[in-house]
């Protein structure tokens, strides 16, 4: 691996260099898109001048690593010995974050397509709530967004779906943040079509096999089933989970939160079929947030992303940020402004 010590100004990189971004100065001056402050793998400082002429499409992020090859080297300025001077031939590959913290933005019951509050009849803005929560997740450098169901309401039109594509999926794609969801008990055809179109690297319908967020966390989901009739024999959880932490997402009435009833889902029954250990369980469907501890497993209703609880004492227009550090999960509330 080359370091700053192997570079001389006026020549190109002899081999690719791996650098980490320590600071970004956008709009750095004429013909420059940005000036990026870096350290090499030995901790030596250097800069990269992101010239407009080099047509670099990288969205530089602090604490992220990049592998740079075929790049010019010149004498540095402002206290830096060396500047990297990319051209159109330069190749830059993002290597991801060096931040050991995993963050999941959890949002649910967005009911895009609703326009009025189901009890008071007041105007509501589910699209604004959803896109604001997503913006928050992007700003907090979330590793993934998890949606606990009811993305779209029956009344969602193709205009609503387009809005979600533009203000949710496009910015997430730009930020390289995947969106994992389960289906709820509400949907619309234009919404379903959008989800189908976007399904791939960016958008995933979670199932009991789960999706790896990174080496720390795996997220499992079970789509909504009417009256709590989960197809118990089809819960194909993996036999072995390599990630140390497992998060389960549901869209049901949960016995551990709502008490026993004919339509409730008993987590015990799910847990019995899972060989591992859930570390956090989150459910959509109930539009007020609430939380309990089931043994040592936190279980919560996330509450709706926009005001739509019909209860007298509503607890809605919320999203959550799950932060994973040192193999434990902290859940912080985000009141959507
Ligand atoms: Mn709902």
Q: Are residues 193 and 239 in the same domain?
A: yes
Q: Which CATH number belongs to the domain containing residue 20 in this structure?
A: 2.40.50.140
Q: Which CATH number belongs to the domain containing residue 144 in this structure?
A: 3.60.21.10
List beta partners, residue 254. 265
> pLDDT of 69-101, one tens digit each?
999 999 998 889 999 999 999 999 999 888 789
CA 218 – ligand 1 centroid, Å:
24
Dihedrals φ, ψ of 282, to 5°?
Answer: -125, 140
> pLDDT of 155-207, one tens digit each?
999 999 999 999 999 999 999 999 999 999 999 999 999 999 999 989 999 99
Residue with tokens 């919320």: 318
pTM, rounded to two decimals? 0.79
Residue 207 CA to residue 198 CA, distance in Å, equals 17
**E strand residue ranges, 108-191:** 144-147, 179-181
CA 251 – ligand 1 centroid, Å:
8
**E strand residue ranges, 208-327:** 211-212, 217-221, 245-251, 280-284, 290-294, 297-301, 318-325
Going from the C-alpha of 68 to that of each of 93, 172, 184, the distances in angstroms are 7, 24, 44
Q: Are residues 84 and 223 in the same domain?
A: no
Q: Are residues 86 and 210 in the same domain?
A: no
Q: Are residues 87 and 70 in the same domain?
A: yes
Q: Are residues 119 and 236 in the same domain?
A: yes
Give me the domain span that covers residue 32.
4-97
CA 170 – ligand 1 centroid, Å:
24
Contacts of residue 250, defined as CB under 8 A and 6 or more positions apart, other chains included, come to: 148, 182, 221, 222, 224, 265, 281, 282, 283, 284, 285
Q: Are residues 114 and 29 in the same domain?
A: no
CA 284 – ligand 1 centroid, Å:
7
Q: Are residues 211 and 146 in the same domain?
A: yes
CA 287 – ligand 1 centroid, Å:
6
Q: Are residues 76 and 194 in the same domain?
A: no
> pLDDT of 284-306, one tens digit each?
999 999 999 999 999 999 999 99
Q: How confident is the model at residue 217 (pLDDT cuts 50, 70, 90)?
A: very high
Dihedral (C-alpha) 310, 315, 317, 320: value to the nearest 10 degrees?
-140
Residue with tokens 């205009």: 159
Q: Are residues 106 and 84 in the same domain?
A: no
- Number of domain units in the chain: 2
CA 148 – ligand 1 centroid, Å:
9
Q: In 10 A of CB 280, how many CB atoms?
A: 23
> How buried is 30 (Cβ within 10 angstroms: 0-12 exposed, 13-18 middle, 19+ buried)?
exposed
CA 6 – ligand 1 centroid, Å:
59
């Amino acid at each position: 691996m080359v370091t700053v010590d192997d570079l001389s100004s006026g020549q190109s990189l002899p081999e690719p260099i791996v650098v980490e971004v320590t600071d970004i100065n956008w709009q750095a001056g004429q013909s420059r898109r940005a000036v990026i402050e870096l350290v090499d793998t030995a901790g030596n400082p250097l800069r990269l001048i992101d010239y407009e002429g080099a047509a670099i499409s990288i969205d530089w992020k602090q604490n992220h690593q990049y592998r740079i090859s075929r790049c010019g080297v010149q004498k540095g300025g402002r206290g830096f010995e060396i500047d990297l001077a990319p051209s159109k031939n330069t190749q830059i590959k993002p290597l991801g974050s060096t931040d050991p913290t995993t963050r999941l933005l959890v949002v649910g019951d967005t009911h895009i397509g609703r326009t009025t509050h189901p009890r008071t009849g007041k105007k509501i803005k589910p699209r604004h709530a959803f896109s604001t929560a997503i913006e928050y997740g992007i700003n907090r450098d979330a590793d993934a967004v998890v949606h606990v169901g009811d993305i779209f309401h029956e009344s969602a039109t193709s205009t609503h779906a387009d809005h979600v594509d533009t203000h949710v999926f496009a910015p997430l794609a730009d930020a390289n943040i995947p969106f994992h969801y389960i289906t709820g008990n509400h949907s619309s055809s234009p919404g379903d079509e959008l989800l189908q179109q976007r399904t791939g690297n960016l958008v995933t319908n979670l199932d009991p096999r789960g999706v790896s967020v990174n080496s720390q966390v795996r997220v499992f989901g079970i789509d909504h089933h009417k009256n709590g009739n989960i197809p118990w024999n089809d819960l194909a959880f993996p036999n072995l989970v390599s990630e140390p932490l497992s998060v389960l997402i549901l869209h049901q009435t949960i016995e551990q939160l709502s008490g026993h009833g004919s339509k409730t889902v008993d987590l015990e029954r799910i847990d019995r079929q899972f060989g591992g250990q859930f570390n956090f369980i989150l459910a959509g469907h109930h539009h007020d947030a609430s939380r309990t501890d089931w043994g040592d497993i936190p279980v919560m209703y996330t509450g709706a992303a926009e005001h739509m609880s019909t209860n007298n004492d509503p607890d809605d227009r919320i999203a959550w940020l799950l932060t994973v550090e040192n193999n434990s999960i902290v859940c912080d509330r985000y009141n959507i402004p």
